[in-house]
């Protein structure tokens, strides 16, 4: 996906009705020794980092349970859409654990430190509407009879992104992600570098031409 230039948006959804991702298999985990658990979690954290580093926008379609590592997967995505009935939570402390695949870092960056601490300390599960009210998900939608309402809304969101200039969108994502890691002055410099990369693109010229000619732009990602 990272190297396929035809890919403009990635939507993560589950094939299992009622469950986005239920997290690690604790029965499997119980058979591991301490060293194996450490390696397993390290690989899981690396996977989430790989997802977060995808250059194109990513959307998690949460149509059911997203617990523990399942919510960490959703947090590694850029955008999240949830069914109002979906259940989400970093429940690790209820199992004698703590989030180990990015949850302690991505949740506070998403909802703020105070709320993140409350959710992680309590292991509380919240529904889609509660998640939307605290900014954990971008949209909460009523579940449909097929059980894929969040996926359908995620597709609608993806279709809003698709017509936009692909390289500009990628640079926007990079500027936001890198800028969030530094002070605002450094972030402005990062934005400037990303903008400079976009200036010589054919898509920028196309955007300007389409505006002058009062027609929809035809972006190619070049």
Domain boundaries, the chain: 10-162, 166-213
CA distance 174 to 191: 9
> Is residue 55 within 8 Å of 170, Cβ to Cβ?
yes
> Which of 44, 135, 51, 59 has the alpha carbon at shortest distance from 92?
44
Integer angstrom CA distances of residue 39 from 28, 46, 207: 14, 11, 48
Rounded mean pLDDT of 167-187?
Answer: 96
> Is residue 178 within 8 Å of 195, Cβ to Cβ?
no
Residues in CB range of 19: below 8 A, 6 or more apart: 64, 65, 70
Determine which of 19-23, 34-38, 199-203 has the lowest per-residue pLDDT on average: 34-38
pLDDT at 24 over 90: no
pLDDT at 37 over 90: no
Report the SS3 class of residue 140.
strand
pLDDT at 25 over 90: no
Q: Which CATH superfamily is domain 166-213 in?
A: Lyase 2-enoyl-coa Hydratase, Chain  A, domain 2 (1.10.12.10)
> Is residue 54 within 8 Å of 10, Cβ to Cβ?
yes
Q: Which CATH superfamily is domain 10-162 in?
A: 2-enoyl-CoA Hydratase; Chain A, domain 1 (3.90.226.10)
Residues 60-82: tens digit of each pLDDT:
999 999 999 999 999 999 999 99
CA distance 78 to 66: 16
pLDDT at 55 over 90: yes
Residues 124-138: tens digit of each pLDDT:
999 999 999 999 999
Active-site positions? 24, 69, 72, 92
């Amino acid at each position: 996906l990272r190297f396929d230039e035809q890919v403009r948006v990635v939507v993560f959804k589950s094939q299992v009705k009622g469950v986005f991702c239920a997290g690690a298999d604790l029965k499997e985990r119980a058979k591991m020794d301490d060293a194996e658990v450490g390696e397993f979690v390290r690989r899981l954290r690396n996977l989430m980092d790989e997802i977060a580093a995808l250059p194109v926008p990513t959307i998690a379609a949460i149509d059911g349970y997203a617990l523990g590592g399942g919510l960490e997967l959703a947090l590694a995505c850029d955008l999240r859409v949830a069914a109002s009935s979906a259940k989400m939570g970093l429940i690790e402390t209820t199992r004698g654990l703590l989030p180990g695949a990015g949850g302690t870092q991505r949740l506070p960056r998403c909802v703020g430190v105070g709320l993140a601490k409350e959710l992680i300390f309590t292991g509380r599960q919240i529904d889609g509407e509660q998640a939307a009210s605290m900014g954990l998900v971008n949209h909460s939608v009523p579940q449909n009879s097929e059980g894929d309402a969040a996926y359908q809304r995620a597709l609608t969101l993806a279709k809003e992104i698709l017509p936009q200039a692909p390289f500009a969108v990628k640079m926007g994502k990079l500027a936001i992600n890198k800028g969030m890691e530094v002070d605002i002055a450094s972030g402005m410099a990062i934005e400037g570098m990303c903008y400079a990369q976009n200036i010589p693109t054919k898509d920028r010229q196309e955007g300007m031409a389409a505006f002058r000619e009062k027609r929809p732009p035809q972006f190619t990602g070049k």
